[in-house]
A and B are shown apart, each in its own frame.
Chain A
């Protein structure tokens, strides 16, 4: 299913309902509502009232983002992560050592580069570790919709360098819109064609980024919450009561 892996939660419930409906209209079949790990109460409240906020076919998942500046901060946050089993965990940092540690850690699902300014922190080492450990990297094109001319060319150049570092490991990429206003929301079809026309990423790889990779991630989240699931690669099939 076409999934937007980073949806900012607006301040009021009515705006959230309108935002979710707009994502549905433009063609997304699932979204991941994202909040900072320090705003856990807000996301819990939304989770509790989800049936009142939205009644429709779209699947909604939840994600907690850890914004940290050092490896020490990250380790302190990760100690509490076992409490958030039914959330996706993502890490955003400007420190490369922190990103490398996050890419190594089994509790982290996504390394976030959805903020345009953090794109320069990506290295081949991080991509390689993310690829080896079956994690994902998310990115957003929302910044390119805000400007035109020279500024937009520079933004495209940053994205071009970003995709150059990723190279052929597109199976690690996720699209996380991170649209701060509804004006910059675009559908999956438009994103695929933008990736093809501007960055030369083929349409089938675009579908991988927007459809297959999020599906893998969400299946992993569902499996994590399965009571018969022990750890990666091990699941109880039949319990004889021994």
Chain B
């Protein structure tokens, strides 16, 4: 099987009820797997090659790696997550990229700007 191209998805988490709760990267990956399997089934889920590259619990953002053919499925599955550990959450996809270098630069610029503005 030839090596599949990767895609890196930069996402952030919002709490619509305004209550911030401690969510770990393992909780996110577990919820994402469940959402993927429910929506697209096990056959598509295994093709995604999911990996949490980075997760910042303070700024509530992360980077997920998946394959290029399953990018849409992963983003849709993220959108269909409505709660983690009982806390309502909204996943917002900021950007996707083919290289980790680019996505790290984007995350630095985006969250640096957000911190400068004094909001989030």
Contacts and interface: CB of A to CB of B under 8 A. Distances in A.
A193 interface: yes
Contacts of A181: 16
B16 A193 contact: no
B80 A145 contact: yes
Most buried by B among A26, A185, A193, A198: A193
Contacts of B17: 182-183
Contacts of A185: 16, 90
Interface string A187-228: 101110110111000000000000000000000000000000
Contacts of A190: 75-76, 78-79, 91-93
A185 B16 CA distance: 9
Contacts of A149: 38
A182 B39 CA distance: 22
B109 interface: no
A187 B79 CA distance: 9
Interface in B58-105: 72-73, 75-76, 78-80, 82-83, 88, 90-93
A82 B83 CA distance: 45
Interface residues of A, number: 25
Contacts of A196: 72, 76
Given A26-B14, A145-B82, A186 B90 contact: yes
A109 B38 CA distance: 37
B76 A193 contact: yes
Interface string A12-49: 00000010001001110000000000000000000000
B14 A22 contact: yes
B92 A183 contact: no
Contacts of A186: 79, 90
Contact of A27 (B16, B39, B88, B92): B92
A190 B40 CA distance: 16
A25 B75 contact: no
A193 B39 contact: no
Nearest to B39: A198
Given A25-B92, A189-B93, A190-B93, A183 B76 contact: no
A23 B101 CA distance: 29
Interface in A145-175: 145, 148-149, 152
Given A186-B90, A190-B79, 14 more contacts: A26-B90, A145-B82, A182-B90, A183-B88, A184-B82, A185-B16, A187-B93, A190-B78, A190-B91, A190-B93, A194-B76, A196-B76, A197-B72, A198-B39
Interface of A: 18, 22, 25-27, 144-145, 148-149, 152, 181-187, 189-191, 193-194, 196-198
Interface of B: 14, 16-18, 38-40, 72-73, 75-76, 78-80, 82-83, 88, 90-93
